Amino acid sequence: MGRCAEGSNLAILCIYLFDSMATTSPATLLSAAQLREGLESTRNVSLRNLVASMQSESVESADLSMAHMRTVECAILASALAKNASLRILHLQYCTISDAGLEALAAGLARNRGLELLDLQSNRITSKGCHALIDALESGRPAIRKVLLAGNKVSADK
């Protein structure tokens, strides 16, 4: 189902092709109240603007590269992604996303039906985060076809 291929130390590309699968998801998303509270308290203006756009219009591509994403911001984005079907491409390069952040993000990705390309290059993701992402995506029915992970510390082992 999924395959991690390592070309060199800095060039790791993970491509996952998914068929229709079960619709259960392992992680919990934020409630509407928690999402509002998180958006009000985050200092990440780029994230705040993207989530507002996703809720009010059809956004097909978004680039949050270099926007620091703590676990709480990843959870906010996950909740928005779970309800969005128009976003096709999401760039999250150099966002300092950790394994915990990716686990939070995976909850929304498992429920998302529109995203096709997720760019997570040059973050703080290890094999643990990669495996959490694979597990979450295999538990849902996402449209996602490519996950880019170059520049992270992902190896064939957990």
Strand stretches in the chain, DSSP E? 2-6, 12-16, 61-63, 89-91, 117-119, 146-148
pLDDT tens track for 45-58 = 999 999 999 888 88
Higher pLDDT among residues 47 and 36, named by residue: 47
Range of lowest pLDDT (22-31, 55-64, 135-144)? 22-31
* Distance, CA of 92 to CA of 132 (rounded, Å): 17
